[in-house]
Amino acid sequence: MVTFDRDLDCLVEGLAEHGTPAHAVTPAGLEAFLAGLPPAQAAFLRQTGFAGKAGAVALLPGEAGIEGAVLGLGEQAGVGPEIFGALPRALPAGSRWRLGSGFADPEMAVLGWCLGAYRFDALRQAPRPAPVLVLGAGEAPVARSAARATWLVRDLVNCPANLLGPAELANAAAAALAARGVAATVIADDALDRAYPTIAAVGRGSARKPRVLTAHWQGSGAGPESPLVSLCGKGVCFDTGGYDLKTASGMLRMKKDMAGAATALGLACMIIEADLPLRLALRLGCVENSVSGDAMRPLDVITTRRGLRVEVGNTDAEGRLVLCDLLAEAADEHPALLADFATLTGAARVALGPDLPALFSNDDAAAGIVLAAAEREHDFVYRLPLWSSYDLWLESNVADLNNVSDKPHAGAIVAALFLQRFIPASCRWLHFDVYGWNDQSRPGRPEGGEAQAMRAVFAGVRMMFADGRVSS
């Protein structure tokens, strides 16, 4: 059985001298670094060709064996945390280390270490123990929180769909919240059918019935009038495409179609652990899009929670149907900020590739703060427009709107415009169309599930409401 929300076993608290030093160096600083080493170690690095290239790791030999390690940072200024993730992947399993020289930002280095040490081995009989970094008690709290949330997101996304259906996803989210002192409600069956008819319609084709998780929390420094931040996540545990069936290759990664819900959950955990002075609402739509005699069909018409009737132009555009009822309910609470996360469109990936989530927003100030936070956190997003002229493309001949356009263009924008139909203009809204996956392993980014935009939005929320950058 997979355990989610696990401890960071790549960190250990203790005395610094109990760890072997790991150093970091740029090519420009290499000669000065070599001059400070014992001559034999300096000669060893020179002879092996170590040049401080980004992500390069060399071990420093000594009389007792390995006496240190050095990580190349490369020549690019302002490196992000991922580069430090090269260290745990290159160091001996189970070894103990401490940060040596060259780490200008220890919090970022600790975060990067944890990002690189992550592995999804819950289904292996013989997991490989990670090297551990020795920290002082309570050191790097923000990095630890971000790393643990990232591990939670990655574990959920990496878990096979036969082990993580709608009920399991909702229960895992409820357990993570309970571990932080927050009670959640899991809605199912008739109550879900009444409150979230579009989620019910998407889930009708699967034997594994949908769930909606809702939770509310208030920081210790917040009151009833404090700003409300509302988060929604698309949790499609597997997406066949429904009757508009995906190809075999198109289904290979569809266990990751719940990455939006996982990311919203991870962000909620970070906000709670930081005890930000605000109120928080979380809604996750947990469902499977499958094929059966009960599944929704192309050209069916569904009545949404908002009362709008939607013609199903394509059953594989189910993510916006999962989100629209959640967003409608969330907007009715008049949040100071409403943010949703979803692996919504392939069009966003065509436009921006796998590494850049698309951001859509109806509020320039909020979007600008998140974009600035994303740069600072090295958790990048890119803003795309809510181009109103394309809104006409959602017209239907038989219902209030269609869930897709018959045009082959601007698919990510059209999906965002569909969601905007369910949000009042007065509601400050951020929509993130994420990929939620690393196609190949890189330092700090192992192949598999990924938490995209989570750190950026956490920093943005803190800037908006804890630092008072925007009005509530």
Active site residues: 246, 320
| Rounded-to-integer distance, Cα 219 and Cα 242, Å | 41
Q: pTM (2 decimals)?
A: 0.97
Q: Where are the alpha helices (DSSP H) in 378-452?
A: 411-420
Q: Which two tokens stand for residue 409?
A: 């263009």
| Rounded-to-integer distance, Cα 215 and Cα 127, Å | 34
Residue 406: count other Cβ atoms within 10 Å of its Cβ.
Answer: 10
Ramachandran region, residue 5 (left: φ > 0; alpha: ψ -120 to 50; beta: rest): left
Burial of 243 (0-12, 13-18, 19+ CB in 10 A): middle
| Rounded-to-integer distance, Cα 323 and Cα 285, Å | 7
Residue 160: count other Cβ atoms within 10 Å of its Cβ.
Answer: 10
| Rounded-to-integer distance, Cα 155 and Cα 449, Å | 7
Please check whether residue 237 is in contact with residue 165, taking contact to mean a CB–CB distance below 8 angstroms: yes
| Rounded-to-integer distance, Cα 348 and Cα 413, Å | 8
C-alpha dihedral (13, 15, 18, 21), degrees to nearest 10:
90
Q: What is the pLDDT of residue 352?
A: 98
Q: What is the pLDDT of residue 472?
A: 61
Q: Are strands 184-187 and 211-218 parallel, antiparallel or unpaired?
A: antiparallel
Please check whether residue 281 is in contact with residue 264, taking contact to mean a CB–CB distance below 8 angstroms: no
Q: Are strands 20-25 and 96-99 parallel, antiparallel or unpaired?
A: parallel
Residue 164: count other Cβ atoms within 10 Å of its Cβ.
Answer: 25
Q: Which residue has the tokens 């945390």?
A: 81
Please check whether residue 435 is in contact with residue 357, taking contact to mean a CB–CB distance below 8 angstroms: yes
Please check whether residue 133 is in contact with residue 107, taking contact to mean a CB–CB distance below 8 angstroms: no
Q: What is the pLDDT of residue 77?
A: 67
Domains and CATH numbers, the chain: 11-139 (3.40.220.10), 144-466 (3.40.630.10)
Per-residue pLDDT of the chain (472 residues; tens, 9 = 90+): 688 999 999 999 988 778 999 999 999 999 999 999 999 999 999 999 999 999 999 999 998 899 999 999 998 767 899 999 999 999 999 999 999 999 999 999 999 999 999 999 989 988 888 899 999 999 999 999 999 999 999 999 999 999 999 999 999 999 999 999 999 999 999 999 999 999 999 999 999 999 999 999 999 999 999 999 999 999 999 999 999 999 999 999 999 999 999 999 999 999 999 999 999 999 999 999 999 999 999 999 999 999 999 999 999 999 999 999 999 999 999 999 999 999 999 999 999 999 999 999 999 999 999 999 999 999 999 999 999 999 999 999 999 999 999 999 999 999 999 999 999 999 999 999 999 999 999 999 999 999 999 999 999 999 999 776 666 6
Which of 322, 364, 366 lies closest to 341 in space, CA to CA?
Answer: 322
Please check whether residue 99 is in contact with residue 108, taking contact to mean a CB–CB distance below 8 angstroms: no
